[in-house]
Structure 1
Amino acid sequence: MTNPTNTRTLIAALVPGNRVIVHHAPYLLRTAGTAVDETFVLGVLCSMPCDWQARRTVELNLTFEQLNLLAIPDPGQGHPVRDRVAEIAALLAAQDDRFSGWAADVGVPVGSASDEAVKEDLICELDACVAHLYGLDEHDLAVIYDTFSETVDYSDRHAAVLAHFGRLAG
């Protein structure tokens, strides 16, 4: 369940194997592609630019129909920013030993983003990378962070994202 006043609308997660998912939780199951492809999609779905897109249509809960409407930018395998999105998502998702097999498949150590400052920086870099892949500019990022929530001040996060975004553009 979600609504437009929650701090996030689209809450994506990597679910460990052999778990049950409730019927009202839309999920994606990889039937083709690689673990890195899966991780890239996870990274995009966890980003603020993608969440902002979802927020335009979601009222009470995210449905499969709304999930299918989300645009997922994909420049193709081997693109350096795509690769970085996948790496960041993997570092953030591989939190403990439940994900050790998956982490080995995507080439990251388990628990490497446990420091809160490192985690926050990775989240901001993820937002910047995904914004870059969407073809957004600094004005677009301002719209996202200025209009995302009426109750949360995202100015610090916006500034950190812009710092990463500037390195991508430069």
Structure 2
Amino acid sequence: MNYQGYRWVHRRIARNTDSRTLICYITPKNVFTEVNSTTLKVVETGISNQQMLFLCAITNSFTLDWMIRQKVTTTLNMFYIYQLPVPRLTKNDRSFNNIVQRAAKLICTTPEFDELAQEVGLGSHQQGVTDETERAKLRAELDGIVAHLYGLTEDEFSYILTTFPIVNATVKEAALSAYRNFVPMFANSKIELTQK
């Protein structure tokens, strides 16, 4: 049954005036969601749990949030999600694994996520990150990596960050700093994007 596996979910009621519009998560196994809630069922989509972690990280980024903010007014349904361009990476790609590992550390913080943690090589939820400073660092790194995946220049990413007036300036500066740190890793790389 659907509820017996991990599922990607997102907040449906979302305004482009909120601090963040696109907020996504992975539910633990055996957790029910509302009938009209918006979930992405792994079984029906054919994506693996690792790909779901990758998708969760990408969709929680400032870059994709900025894209969706151009379209959404109050309700964020799958119609909008399907229009988003998503980088096509595989588990053989270093960026894919870097993103999955960071996302798993942010999500796998309770025993309900032990199977998911084991699947991606974390061992258990005890390797998940609960320290707020370290969590903020991981989120900033994910934002920096994702901005590179979309081929953004530093000026473009900096502009995107200015469009989030409610987000704390230190959060935005950390994301921009992470972007700068990953410049060497993405030199001469090209990523294929597709609408998912």
TM-score (norm 2): 0.80
Partner of 2:125, secondary structure, is coil
Deviation of residue 71 (structure 1)? 1.1
Can you give the 5+ residue segments of structure 1 that lack an aligned partner in the other structure? none
Task: Indicate conservation of the 8 Å contact 2:28/2:113, yes or no.
Answer: yes
1:13 aligned residue: 25
Spell out, residue by residue over 1:94-141, the C-alpha distance to the aligned partner (whole angstroms, 9 max, x if none): 020111111111112314211010000000001001111111111111
Distance 1:13 1:33 in 2: 15
1:80 maps onto 2:80 in alignment: no
1:130 aligned residue: 146
Spell out, residue by residue over 1:51-96, the C-alpha distance to the aligned partner (whole angstroms, 9 max, x if none): 1111111111111101111111123332212211111111100020
Distance 1:94 1:102 in 2: 7
1:164 aligned residue: 178
Give the counterpart of 1:52 among 45, 60, 66: 66
Distance 2:154 2:34 in 1: 38
Deviation of residue 35 (structure 1)? 2.0
Partner of 1:28, secondary structure, is strand
Greater helix content:
1
Deviation of residue 153 (structure 1)? 4.5
Partner of 2:157, secondary structure, is helix
Give the counterpart of 1:114 among 122, 130, 154: 130
Spell out, residue by residue over 1:6-26, the C-alpha distance to the aligned partner (whole angstroms, 9 max, x if none): 111111011011122123432
Partner of 1:14, secondary structure, is strand
Task: Indicate conservation of the 8 Å contact 1:76/1:82, yes or no.
Answer: yes
Task: Indicate conservation of the 8 Å contact 1:26/1:64, yes or no.
Answer: yes
Distance 1:24 1:135 in 2: 35
Partner of 2:119, secondary structure, is helix
Can you give the 5+ residue segments of structure 2 that lack an aligned partner in the other structure? 1-12, 185-196
Distance 1:100 1:125 in 2: 23
Using a 3 Å threshold, how does the CA distance of structure 1 residues 40 and 153 change in structure 2: closer, same or farther? closer
Greater strand content:
2
Task: Indicate conservation of the 8 Å contact 1:12/1:42, yes or no.
Answer: yes
TM-score (norm 1): 0.91
Give the counterpart of 2:39 among 15, 24, 27: 27
